[in-house]
Amino acid sequence: MATGRSSSNSMALALLVLAASAASLLPAASLSVTSPYVRPAPRPDALSLLQDDDDDDDGQTPQQVHISVVGPDKMRVTWITDDDAPAIVEYGTTSGQYPLSATGNTTTYSYVLYKSGNIHDAVIGPLKPNTTYYYRCSSNPKREFSFRTPPATLPFKFVIVGDFGQTGWTESTLKHIAAADYDMLLLPGDLSYADFIQPRWDSYGRLVDPLASARPWMVTEGNHEIEKLPLVETEPFKAYNARWRMPYDAGASPSGDNLYYSFDVAGGAVHVIMLGSYTDYDTGSAQHSWLRRDLAAVDRGRTAFVVALVHAPWYNSNRAHQGEGDAMRDAMEALLYGVRVDAVFAGHVHAYERFARVYAGKEDPCGPVYVTIGDGGNREGLADKYIDPQPAISAFREASFGHGRLEVVNATHALWTWHRNDDDEAVVADQVWITSLAASPACHRSKSKM
Ligand SMILES: *[C@@H]1O[C@H](CO)[C@@H](O)[C@H](O)[C@H]1NC(C)=O
Ligand SMILES: *[C@@H]1O[C@H](CO)[C@@H](O)[C@H](O)[C@H]1NC(C)=O
Ligand SMILES: *[C@@H]1O[C@H](CO)[C@@H](O)[C@H](O)[C@H]1NC(C)=O
Ligand SMILES: [Fe+2]
């Protein structure tokens, strides 16, 4: 039985690799593939991976450290201590020596009976690009951290994955991410799956700390971040906004709201737009006005790639969450199309799906490539029911955990690769070149009327 299944799996895999490489050579939607891969059952320990904080005996040891870019050459360091500690980050380019420092702010929040630790953040810089810095937090000698700043030119390597949670699957995904180098991680929502139980935000923070303290992790919110409780906790995103502050007040078009923002990387060669699926997006909303402003400032003569992230997918042939992104798509799709956004990455659906270039429901050579990458590994499991037949605009779909990588190699070419999380091994199961629409004479037009 077991042998039979594994040999049919490897045959399926061979077919899949063939199909995937064919898909990258042909115009995107000429082939619709539903992967025949069948996942093994989860391991017994897969559903719970709560991380203790028993190393923090003195209440002063920094934990849950993560970093995020602020403008072209600064970094925000965020960390938590159980007890009072100074919001200072000391840093330098040699391990053990911290000639530079910056002091920031400390905040706390309460949620029903839970009271958070001290959440500190400080912005350091200016920093040199593509350089390793060593740092410590709250002047605490117990933990030294290091990160590498992103490069100021192409090539630039993103990891993209949503709907993480904190399970054995998440652990496996994190291990695969750590196994190959990257410059920045983009997360299209649903981080901890704390789901109102606040200590789970802390255990999630500890789980991702080894990676998130070493490379910038840029996030936007999903539905699991809302955490509103009728009458008791009426302010949405309380934990998320306190713990995952993003650079909404920096850059060329500050949004003024942590739920949506944008930034440039690689010296402006790539513009990244983090949209908010769970705050107003209709015409006349603050987010809609900000997006128009943000896109109006994009100069495609200078910006080789524009990518956007949302939580609820605008295109989706999985039966899970059908239609949930439609209203946002109707409100914003034309704006993205106007500046020829190259790709849109979504989470929410716990599976992988890649579409052709699409606009207004149809294949369109000047529309974005849509990708659903909500497959980080959370405890709700996979979404494995699809609409049949597979729509022609859907190029490849598979219900597995995994992560994606977008390597922008130069001003015209970016390589998108999906790594299936095959428990112990990361297997490349889908790969396609995405070419810049700014470099496409047929799609290029000067600033659109918006
Ligand atoms: C501390 O927070 C205040 C209010 O949000 C802000 O104006 C100030 O710039 C922050 N200071 C630092 C050093 O980050
Ligand atoms: C970053 O630095 C490494 C090692 O010094 C070098 O090999 C790489 O080319 C640099 N990347 C960029 C984009 O400058
Ligand atoms: C950009 O990268 C692609 C893929 O590696 C390559 O075919 C192309 O020649 C490169 N363009 C330039 C200008 O180097
Ligand atoms: Fe979600």
pLDDT in tens, 203-217: 999 999 999 999 999
Residue 105 Cβ inside 6 Å of ligand 1? The answer reads yes
Q: What is the pLDDT of residue 15?
A: 38
How far is the centre of ligand 2, averaged over its atoms, from the C-alpha of 157 (Å)?
12
Q: What is the DSSP letter of 268?
A: G
Can you tell me the distance from the alpha carbon of 350 to that of 320, in angstroms, rounded to the nearest whole number?
8
Q: Which of 149, 153, 117 is nearest to 133 (CA)?
A: 149
Q: Please list the residues that pair with 389 across neighbouring strands.
A: none
The SS3 assignment for 312 reads coil
On whether the CB atoms of residues 182 and 158 are closer than 8 A, the answer is yes
Residue 86 Cβ inside 6 Å of ligand 1? The answer reads no
Residue-wise DSSP of 148-202 = EPPPSSS-EEEEE-----SSHHHHHHHHHHHTS--SEEEE-S--S--TT-THHHH
Average pLDDT over residues 24-34: 57
More confident residue, 39 or 149: 149
- Mean pLDDT, all residues of the chain: 90
Q: Binning pLDDT at 50, 70 and 90, where does residue 413 land?
A: very high
| Tens digit of each residue's pLDDT (9 = 90 or more) over 164-180 | 999 999 999 999 999 99
Q: Whose CA is nearest to atom 2 of ligand 1?
A: 105
How far is the centre of ligand 1, averaged over its atoms, from the C-alpha of 106 (Å)?
9
What is the bridge-based pairing of β-strands 100-103 and 88-92?
Answer: antiparallel
Q: What's this model's pTM, rounded to 2 decimal places?
A: 0.91
What is the bridge-based pairing of β-strands 132-137 and 145-148?
Answer: antiparallel
Q: Where in the chain is the domain with CATH 2.60.40.380?
A: 63-148
Q: What is the pLDDT of residue 121?
A: 98
Q: What one-letter code names the amino acid at 224?
A: H
Q: What is the pLDDT of residue 35?
A: 85
On whether the CB atoms of residues 378 and 163 are closer than 8 A, the answer is yes
Q: Please list the residues that pair with 134 across neighbouring strands.
A: 92, 146
- 217 burial level (CB within 10 Å; 0-12, 13-18, 19+): buried
Q: Which of 282, 267, 365, 270 is nearest to 309 (CA)?
A: 270
Q: Where in the chain is the domain with CATH 3.60.21.10?
A: 12-44+153-439
Q: Binning pLDDT at 50, 70 and 90, where does residue 52 land?
A: low
The SS3 assignment for 400 reads coil
Q: What is the DSSP letter of 318?
A: B
Q: What is the pLDDT of residue 40?
A: 63
Can you tell me the distance from the alpha carbon of 155 to that of 268, in angstroms, rounded to the nearest whole number?
12
Q: How many CB atoms lie within 10 A of CB 398?
A: 24
Q: Binning pLDDT at 50, 70 and 90, where does residue 448 land?
A: very low
Ligand 1, residue 105: give the atom nearest the CA: 1
Two structure tokens written together for 361: 């429901």
Task: Find the length of the chain.
Answer: 450
Q: What is the pLDDT of residue 30?
A: 53
On whether the CB atoms of residues 88 and 139 are closer than 8 A, the answer is yes
With 90 as the cut, is the pLDDT of residue 423 above it?
Answer: no
Residues 6+ apart with CB under 8 A from 59: 81, 82, 83
Residues with CB under 5 A from ligand 4 (ion): 190, 222-223, 348
The dihedral of CA 255, 219, 238, 279: what is its sign?
Answer: positive
Q: What is the pLDDT of residue 17?
A: 38
CATH topology of domain 12-44+153-439: Purple Acid Phosphatase; chain A, domain 2 (3.60.21)
Q: Binning pLDDT at 50, 70 and 90, where does residue 323 land?
A: very high
More confident residue, 423 or 89: 89
CATH architecture of structural domain 63-148? Sandwich (2.60)
Average pLDDT over residues 215-241: 98
How far is the centre of ligand 4, averaged over its atoms, from the C-alpha of 259 (Å)?
15
Q: What is the pLDDT of residue 9?
A: 39
Q: Whose CA is nearest to atom 6 of ligand 3?
A: 413
Per-residue burial over 6-18, b if 16 or more Cβ lie within 10 Å, else e, is eeebeeebeebee
Can you tell me the distance from the alpha carbon of 201 to that of 210, in angstroms, rounded to the nearest whole number?
16
Pocket test for ligand 1, best of 78, 105, 245 (most atoms within 8 A of CB): 105
Two structure tokens written together for 108: 């706390």
Residue 104 Cβ inside 6 Å of ligand 1? The answer reads yes
How far is the centre of ligand 4, averaged over its atoms, from the C-alpha of 224 (Å)?
6
Q: At what angle do helices 168-178 and 199-212 cross, to 10 degrees?
A: 20
Q: Among all residues, which ones are annotated catalytic?
A: 321
